[in-house]
């Protein structure tokens, strides 16, 4: 591989890292944001729901925008906007200002998520082997750092803008410098029937959209309900109840860090099936846990299982539509936010109406459905990287103008 691709891969990984940190800094400080602006409990869900809804709109707009503008340019300018909007959330004083900052954050996040996954998919195609999980590992690492900084800000009772300003001051210039080395993939060159020049067949994409939705329902269940479940259902202390999400994030990072090797050795279909089964086992352990430590073991399994599903879903879209992967990724990315919107209210409603143990069986069942759809991850016959199946490392880098 040339230095061009190596720099492109490293700079994109940093983009994923910065996005993970920014998103974690927002979602982990929601109570502080609510207190700063005096947002009522009744109004808070509307504010929180607006972000993924607008992010979905941003992803759709990006799918149209990249017909004329390279994804690297969308990513280059959307990332600073996300970070500055985060600072706006922390520095505002009135509810109207919060609404504007969150609206900008949501739209920019949709563009950022879509464009960085577009670049990841095209780089993986150029490399000819699985590297997508590594990018999402960088996102997880950023999320751990962001959550840790948020904890420090809360512990020392720092004002939101004081917590956010140093992060934004470091990440904005670093992201702009790193964006110089982004590498855009080939715009066309698809094979017959893959959607090249003919759009993305939604019917072919439906299984991946469902898997994306189910994965984010599982993820939002952990992020929103793990602490309450451990404390209220399993009788843990308040301090111990904060641990499951951290364990989940760490095991997500570990799973993604080694996941590309698994795809190269075993193939994407096997990795997705295995991940879905491990995640389902995790939900089953959580639902039946007799105590806090057993519940912690379940959340550990959830991190190891769910972590592979989203990156491999994006990668599968790239294999199914090699000539139109940008449009496929943008459309698929919308279901990221659908799962995020559905997951938390679904578990909460079932927990209140039935039981929280029973509620955990619903995401378990949905994740198990992924096993049925796993064959969709073998599209194009190129799902198995390595072990004699890796492509020769010579490819056109596409619109970047460089050659390998």
Alpha-carbon distance 274 to 276, whole Å? 5
Whose CA is closest to 233, among 364, 355, 363, 343?
A: 355
DSSP H stretches of helix in 41-127: 44-65, 71-91, 95-127
pLDDT of residue 399: 42
Q: Tell me: pLDDT of 202 over 60.
A: yes
pLDDT of residue 186: 62
pLDDT of residue 1: 56
The model's confidence at residue 31, banded by pLDDT at 50, 70 and 90, is: confident
Whose CA is closest to 227, among 26, 53, 31?
A: 31
Alpha-carbon distance 2 to 25, whole Å? 35
CATH topology classification for 1-182 = Growth Hormone; Chain: A; (1.20.1250)
The string of pLDDT tens digits covering residues 365-401 is 999 999 999 998 985 544 444 434 444 444 434 444 3
Spatial neighbors of 266 by CB under 8 A, at least 6 apart, are 274, 384
Helices first, then strands: H and E counts in the chain: 15, 0
Share of the chain above pLDDT 70, in %: 90
Q: Which residue has the higher pLDDT, 12 or 396?
A: 12
Q: What is the DSSP letter of 374?
A: G
Alpha-carbon distance 224 to 299, whole Å? 13
pTM of the predicted protein model: 0.90
pLDDT of residue 52: 93
How high does pLDDT run on average in the chain?
88
Whose CA is closest to 183, among 15, 401, 393?
A: 401
Spatial neighbors of 129 by CB under 8 A, at least 6 apart, are 260, 264, 385, 386, 390, 391
The string of pLDDT tens digits covering residues 71-130 is 999 999 999 999 999 999 999 989 999 999 999 999 999 999 999 999 999 999 999 899
Q: Do 398 and 290 meet the contact criterion of CB atoms below 8 Å apart?
A: no
Tell me the DSSP string of 95-109.
HHHHHHHHHHHHHHH
Q: What is the DSSP letter of 391?
A: P
Alpha-carbon distance 268 to 18, whole Å? 27
Token pair 């992201």 in the structure block, residue: 175
Domains 1-182 and 192-389 are alike in CATH topology: yes
> In the chain, what are the domain boundaries?
1-182, 192-389
E strand or H helix that includes residue 34: helix 30-37
Mean pLDDT of 243-263: 93
Alpha-carbon distance 184 to 394, whole Å? 16
Q: Tell me: pLDDT of 190 over 80.
A: no
pLDDT of residue 198: 47
Q: What's the CATH class of domain 192-389? A: mainly alpha
């Amino acid at each position: 591989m040339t230095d061009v691709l190596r720099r492109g891969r490293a700079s994109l990984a940093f983009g994923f890292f910065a996005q993970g940190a920014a998103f974690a800094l927002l979602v982990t400080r929601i109570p502080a944001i609510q207190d700063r602006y005096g947002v009522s409990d009744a109004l808070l869900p509307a504010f929180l729901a607006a972000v993924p809804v607008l992010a979905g709109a941003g992803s759709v707009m990006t799918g149209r925008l990249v017909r004329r503008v390279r994804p690297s340019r969308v990513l280059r300018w959307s990332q600073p906007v996300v970070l500055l909007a985060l600072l706006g959330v922390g520095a505002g004083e009135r509810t109207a200002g919060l609404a504007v900052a969150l609206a900008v954050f949501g739209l920019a996040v949709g563009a950022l998520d879509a464009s960085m996954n577009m670049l990841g998919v095209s780089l993986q195609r150029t490399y000819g082997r699985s590297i997508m999980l590594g990018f999402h590992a960088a996102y997880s690492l950023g999320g751990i750092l962001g959550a840790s900084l948020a904890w420090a800000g809360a512990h020392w009772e720092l004002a939101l803008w004081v917590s956010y300003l140093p992060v934004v001051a470091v990440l904005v210039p670093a992201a702009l410098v790193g964006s110089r080395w982004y590498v855009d993939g080939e715009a066309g060159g698809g094979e017959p029937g893959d959607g090249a020049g003919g759009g993305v067949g939604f019917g072919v994409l439906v299984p991946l959209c469902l898997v994306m939705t189910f994965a984010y329902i599982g993820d939002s269940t952990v992020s929103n309900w793990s602490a309450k479940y451990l404390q209220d259902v399993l009788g843990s202390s308040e301090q111990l109840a904060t641990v499951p999400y951290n364990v989940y994030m760490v095991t997500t990072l570990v799973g993604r860090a080694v996941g590309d090797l698994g795809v190269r050795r075993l193939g994407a279909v096997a990795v997705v099936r295995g991940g879905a089964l491990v995640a389902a086992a995790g939900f089953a352990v959580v639902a039946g846990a007799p105590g806090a430590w057993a519940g912690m073991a379940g959340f550990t399994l959830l991190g190891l299982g769910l972590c592979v599903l989203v990156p491999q879903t994006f990668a599968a879209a790239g294999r199914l539509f090699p000539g139109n992967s940008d449009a496929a990724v943008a459309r698929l990315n919308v279901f990221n936010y659908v799962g995020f919107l559905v997951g938390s209210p679904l578990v909460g409603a079932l927990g209140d109406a039935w039981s929280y143990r029973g509620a955990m069986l619903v995401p378990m069942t949905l994740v198990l459905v992924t096993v049925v759809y796993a064959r969709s991850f073998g599209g194009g016959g190129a799902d198995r990287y390595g072990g004699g199946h890796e492509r020769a490392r010579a490819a056109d880098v596409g619109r970047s103008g460089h050659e390998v």
